[in-house]
């Protein structure tokens, strides 16, 4: 879709002070920074060559140096400062900080977040402050006993020995991991780490880690296996009560058709065991249509549960 002249004007007004204060960026770097294309940024800058103060002599035009790998503005005229923050810009940062607050365990960082929020809110026009209160973020995550140990290991780039409850295989294993970073998702904290047991990058949910111990002398393996699993396509029919399931896992849903009573869905994923377990614990009607082998495994799992009650 082509962009509007307003979008382009907005970007150009932001480009001038940015380039003035940060000379030396290439066109490609500016394009990345401004979420645009190099050809578009080049056109913007070419246009700005023609802009200036009334009179439009060489002394009144915006003066810049422009080549593919070097852009500088020597005289921005009266556009040397960016426009004031918009309401959306302040809302984006304030609500983003609000999301960080519940996970900040260090009181100094929590205080800093609150302070930044106060400073940003003070920048909102008085009449718009109540508008800002109409939006809120609830980002509480389940805190785990080992969150700080994991965070420290990630910062120091050292290994941890952990005891981990795997829901996928219903097993308790001890493994050495090299934490990369921690992220929150839907109420839980996860750490992406190199697992020496599997030789792959894996995601570990913090509340399933029941012991963690620093291993400063462990040596990080140089070889990481390709964790690409064979992708399986599974077609299923779910009752509409299970809408939440496809909403919560959009990355595995290849297609979906929602009709009056049911959802016809095609999943594409590598983790077959996870899908079997997930489908069997969904409420209401859950029919696996194909492939046959998956359908049989699903029925065998449910039959095994029922056999316990006969």
| Contact in structure between 15 and 35 (CB atoms under 8 Å) | no
Among 59, 81, 224, 293, binds other proteins (CB under 8 A): 81
By CB under 8 A, residue 41 contacts other proteins:
no
Site string for other proteins, 215-254 (x = CB under 8 A): ----------------------x--xx-x---xx-x----
In the numeric block, which tokens belong to residue 253? 């849903």
Question: Which of 158, 175, 287, 297 is the binder for other proteins (CB under 8 A)?
Answer: 287
Q: Which is nearer to other proteins, 95 or 158 (CB)?
A: 95
Q: How far apart are CA 76 and CA 82, in angstroms?
A: 11
Give residues with Cβ within 8 angstroms of 125, minimum separation 6: 87
Per-residue x/- track, 251-280, other proteins (CB under 8 A): -------x-x----------------xx-x
Closer CB to other proteins, 49 or 68, in the complex: 49
Minimum distance, C-beta of residue 256 to other proteins, in the bound complex (Å): 11
Q: Smallest distance from the beta carbon of 216 to other proteins, in angstroms?
A: 17
189 counts as binding other proteins under rule CB under 8 A: yes
Cβ neighbours, 10 Å, residue 12: 19
Using the Cα atoms of residue 146, residue 147, residue 150 and residue 152 in order, give the sign of their dihedral: negative
Q: Which stretch binds other proteins (CB under 8 A): 1-9, 215-223, 225-233, 264-272?
A: 1-9
Do residues 59 and 23 lie in contact, with contact meaning Cβ atoms separated by under 8 Å?
A: no
Q: Is 303 in the site for other proteins (CB under 8 A)?
A: yes
Residue 172 touching other proteins (CB under 8 A): yes
299 binds other proteins (CB under 8 A): yes
Q: Which is nearer to other proteins, 119 or 220 (CB)?
A: 119
Q: For residues 203 and 189, is the Cβ–Cβ distance under 8 A?
A: no
CB neighbour class for 289 (10 Å; exposed up to 12, middle 13-18, buried from 19):
middle
Tokens 């918009």 locate to 86
| φ, ψ at 36 (rounded to 5°) | -135, -170
Q: Does 134 bind other proteins (CB under 8 A)?
A: yes
Residue with structure tokens 């003035």?
A: 20
**Does position 92 bind other proteins by CB under 8 A?**
yes
CA-nearest of 282, 278, 279, 298 to 241 is 282
Q: How many residues bind other proteins (CB under 8 A)?
A: 120
CA 144 to chain centroid? 21
Q: Which residue among 88, 222, 223, 228 contacts other proteins (CB under 8 A)?
A: 88
SS3 of residue 188 by DSSP: strand
**Which of positions 136-155 make contact with other proteins (CB under 8 A)?**
136-139, 141, 148, 151-152, 154-155
């Amino acid at each position: 879709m082509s962009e509007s002249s307003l979008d382009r004007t907005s970007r150009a007004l932001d480009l001038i002070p940015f380039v003035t204060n940060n000379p030396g960026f290439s066109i490609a770097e500016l394009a990345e920074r401004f979420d645009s294309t190099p050809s578009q940024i080049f056109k913007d800058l070419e246009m700005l060559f023609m802009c200036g103060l009334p009179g439009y002599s060489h002394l009144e035009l915006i003066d810049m140096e422009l080549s593919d790998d070097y852009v500088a503005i020597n005289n921005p005229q009266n556009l040397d400062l960016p426009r004031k923050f918009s309401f959306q810009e302040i809302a984006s940062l304030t609500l983003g900080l609000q999301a960080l607050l519940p996970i900040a365990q260090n009181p100094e960082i929590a205080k800093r977040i609150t302070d930044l929020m106060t400073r940003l809110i003070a920048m909102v026009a008085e009449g718009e402050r109540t508008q800002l209160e109409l939006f809120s973020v609830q980002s509480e995550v389940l805190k785990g006993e080992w969150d700080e140990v994991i965070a420290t290991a990630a910062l120091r780039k050292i290994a941890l020995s952990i005891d981990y409850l795997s829901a996928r295989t219903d097993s308790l294993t001890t493994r050495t991991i090299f934490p990369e970073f921690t992220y929150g998702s839907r109420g839980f904290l996860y750490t992406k780490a190199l697992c020496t047991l599997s030789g792959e990058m894996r995601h570990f949910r913090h509340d399933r880690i029941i012991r963690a111990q620093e291993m400063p002398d462990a040596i990080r393996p140089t070889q990481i296996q390709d964790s690409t699993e064979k992708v399986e396509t599974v077609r299923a029919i779910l009752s509409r009560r299970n809408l939440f399931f496809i909403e919560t896992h959009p990355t595995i849903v290849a297609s979906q058709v929602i009709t009056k009573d049911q959802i016809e869905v095609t999943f594409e994923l590598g983790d077959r065991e996870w899908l079997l377990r997930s489908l069997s614990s969904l409420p209401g009607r859950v029919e696996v249509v194909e492939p046959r082998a998956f359908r049989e495994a699903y029925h065998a799992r449910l039959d095994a549960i029922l056999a316990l009650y006969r």
